[in-house]
């Protein structure tokens, strides 16, 4: 794999490692369903966390702007499908944004989706 897909996978690898280092339980990566894709799905205690990973040289503002209304709708639908498929509806749901830059990872918890 080369090009944008390998860059995206490398960013997801870094974000997944960060989740594990923070004590999260990583459930899955690149899950597809409900008309969308979830980059990372993890548990933080009883909270089900859906992490959208973005590789950018610009800051969080640019990454947030990339979450168009269509992308947000697809993330919500995918999250609902994931919860149903894995019988996790009782868990609180949170969306996070991980901005991976050459300097490190900026994390935004509780992004409104």
Domain ranges of the chain: 4-108
Helices within 1-113 (DSSP H only): 4-21, 60-65, 69-85
107 alpha-carbon distance from chain centroid: 10
At 63 the pLDDT is 76
Per-10-residue mean pLDDT, the chain, length 113:
64 96 97 96 97 82 84 96 96 94 89 90
**113: CB partners within 8 A, 6+ apart:** 50, 67, 72, 75, 76, 79, 95
At 103 the pLDDT is 84
Matching CATH number, 4-108, of 1.10.238.10, 3.20.20.80, 3.40.1350.10, 3.30.450.20: 3.40.1350.10
């Amino acid at each position: 794999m080369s090009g944008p897909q390998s860059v995206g996978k490398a960013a997801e690898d870094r974000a997944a490692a960060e989740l594990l280092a923070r004590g999260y339980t990583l459930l899955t990566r690149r899950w597809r369903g409900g008309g969308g894709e979830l980059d990372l799905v993890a548990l933080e205690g009883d909270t089900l966390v859906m992490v959208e990973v973005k590789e950018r040289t610009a800051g969080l503002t640019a990454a947030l702007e990339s979450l168009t209304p269509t992308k947000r709708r697809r993330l919500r639908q995918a999250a609902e499908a994931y919860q149903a498929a894995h019988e996790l509806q009782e868990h609180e749901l949170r969306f996070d944004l991980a901005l991976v830059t050459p300097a490190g990872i900026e994390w935004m918890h509780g992004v409104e989706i």
